Amino acid sequence: MMAAEAGASANTIAAYRADLERTAEAISGPIGEADSDALSGLGASWSHLAASTVARRAASLRRFYGFLFDEGLRDDDPSAALPRPKLSRPLPRILDPDEVERMFAAIEDRAASGQPLALRNLALLELLYGSGLRATELVSLPRAALLRREQPFLILRGKGGKERLVPISDRARAAVDAWLEHCPDGKWLFPGGKAHLSRVRLFQLVRAMAAEAGIAPERVSPHVLRHAFATHLLAGGADLRALQALLGHADIATTQIYTHVDSTRLVELVNQRHPLANR
């Protein structure tokens, strides 16, 4: 149902499966037959987890028991007994523009020598920071994705199966072109093992690039570069709705988190645009 009807991605389905398996370990008896008392006791066993993790597990179970009830496999839906933690959205970690510049400078020095893997890493970095791609979207790009020279964008199927336009800068295209001269033949733009580069390997590569630029590796990840893309665009004057479309957010409330990150711009906006600013 999650795959065929809800259109959930493989990563989402894997996360749901893991949540159900961990819940099955925490309760006695088959998970499909658990009653309200069994589910109400999960709050105590999950007390050591972050509120976001508890909320995700509870959401997975609500979806599961809702499915059983809708399909007539149960006469009731016990999910009302699941905990509902209060969530506060944390501010995203980002990098300063000069830190991103240091990462580019370090990898460009290596790429200048023509090392194939350095050229690949530069292309990865350009697409992460220059287009705001998610890690899965980036590593699963087909080889033919950027071959149409007249098209300065990608039509990408991202999270939740939603399509969006992703602009590709001239810098990113040039970096990809340089990498394609050395890229092994096959389906994927960034091959790795028997398929494409894995998200774990991308994470490792990004941290290695950060370390080479003198930045603490634990501060950097593919998603941090996506956050930097969004924050720096907003600081440069990008419209919030345009940023929502570029990031592929279903709800603009998700995009609005970046207005809290760029507090300096908000202060400047009030000082410059408010009717009383010049009195």
Active site residues per annotation: 134, 159, 223, 226, 249, 258
Cα angle: 239, vertex 242, 247; to 5 degrees = 125
Block residue for tokens 């929502």: 244
Block residue for tokens 């065929």: 4
* Nearby residues of 56 by Cβ (< 8 Å), 6 or more positions away: 15, 19
Neighbours of 93 (CB within 10 A): 14
Question: How far is residue 203's CA from residue 162's CA, in Å, rounded to a whole number?
Answer: 24
Token representation of residue 110: 């290596």
Residue 190 in contact with residue 124, Cβ under 8 Å?
Answer: yes
Nearest of 3, 66, 4 to residue 32 by alpha carbon: 66
What angle in degrees, to the nearest 10, is found between the helix axes of 97-111 and 222-235? 120
